[in-house]
Amino acid sequence: MQKKVAEVSQLQLEKKTGLANKEIVELQEEQDELLNRFRVVLDEWERKGGDAKKYRAYASAVSGLEFDFYNLQATFMVLKNWVMSPQGGLRWVGRLFMFGSILFASWMLSRVLSRISGEALSRVEGASSLLRTFLVNFVRQAILILGFVVSLSALGINTSPILALIGGAAFVIGLALQGTLSNFAQGLLILAYRPFDVGDVIDAGGVSGIVDSMNMLSTTIRTFDNKKMIVPNGKIGGDTITNATASSTRRIDMTFGIGYDDDVTKAQKILEQIITEHPLVMKDPAPLIKMNELGDSAINFIARPWAKTGDYWTVFWEVTAAVKEEFDSAGISFPYPQQDVHLYQVKE
């Protein structure tokens, strides 16, 4: 190696007088080939535990291109031969081509596989859209990351130190972001057990509304007054989750009070007629209508009709309005809260 470097140096001096352009190009190519072999030996030595820092420094010191602006013809010839040599420009062109090809192939493969996985999950009965979205994004990103690492290897970059650095950084970041990892873990549990899905009406983490979207760290809930609330998955997973739309049917709990002077039998018949004749009230299970309580100010009836989940509020509002109209027509009152006060005169 040192002998070859000395020969190249001597010819560099001769090059300034224009004497050895061809010879220096040939020796430069031989030197590059020797350096490449030398680096391969150093790589193997380091894998076996050797320390090759000073030898790599030596290789870096004697490698590279030297431009002599006093002899443009010789410099141009050096550049031209380096570009056209298998150990020089052609090698880097091939590596760059492989780098770009692997990235492009990874991008195309990620799109195809993510689409296939999404379509496959859409055919699975009971698979939530949250799980489908997560797996599609995971497949796409995993393939892109893997493709990027492979493309770096195609450039001749040793990815082992990079992966080791990423692993160490992940450990440190994991210790610093324990709360975030808790949200991530709860997100995985939500995807696994599917307590709710996109479009469900839930009460979780102190927020009530419609599930708009979800990622691995948080869930976005759109409240009934159209505000978007972003709730950490850790808070949702550690609290009670109420899903109002998990079932296809719901029972509507209603209470109506009448005065003590009103006709109880007539009120019962009016309630039964209104509820049983409503087109959205289900026949099976049958609605329950009973006098339930003798309250302080009123006799309270309970009404328990069943309806489809999507018809819940329609039935609630229409039945309430119909009861008010029919009670008014029948002369049945809605008593206000009242309290009787009895006065006794004490004789002295």
> Could you tell me which residues come within 8 angstroms of residue 256 by beta carbon, excluding any fewer than 6 positions away?
267, 271, 300, 301, 303, 323, 327
CATH for the stretch 197-243:
2.30.30.60
Reported in sequence order, the residue ranges of 108-168 that DSSP labels E, i.e. its strands, are none
Say if CB 130 and CB 194 are below 8 A apart: yes
| Domain 249-330 annotated CATH 3.30.70.100 | yes
Full pLDDT tens readout for the chain, 348 residues: 555 545 545 555 454 444 445 565 566 667 677 777 777 777 777 777 777 777 776 666 655 545 444 455 555 655 666 556 665 666 677 778 888 888 888 888 888 888 887 777 777 666 666 667 777 887 888 888 888 888 887 777 776 777 777 777 666 666 555 566 677 777 777 777 778 888 889 998 888 999 988 887 888 999 989 999 998 888 888 888 888 888 889 999 999 999 998 999 999 999 999 999 999 999 989 999 999 999 888 999 999 999 998 899 999 999 999 999 999 999 998 887 777 777 877 776
In angstroms, the Cα distances linking 235 to 68, 116, 160, 268 are 68, 33, 38, 45
SS3 103: helix
To the nearest 10°, report the CA torsion of 199, 204, 208, 214.
Answer: -40
d(C-alpha 75, C-alpha 15), whole Å: 9
Distance of CA 199 to the CA centre of its chain: 17
Query: Is 3.10.450 the CATH number for 92-176?
Result: no
**Domain regions of the chain by residue span:** 2-87, 92-176, 197-243, 249-330
The structure's pTM equals 0.49
**Residue 88, both tokens:** 């020089």
Report the DSSP pairing between strands 288-294 and 201-204: unpaired
Q: Phi then psi for 48, rounded to 5 degrees?
A: -95, 10
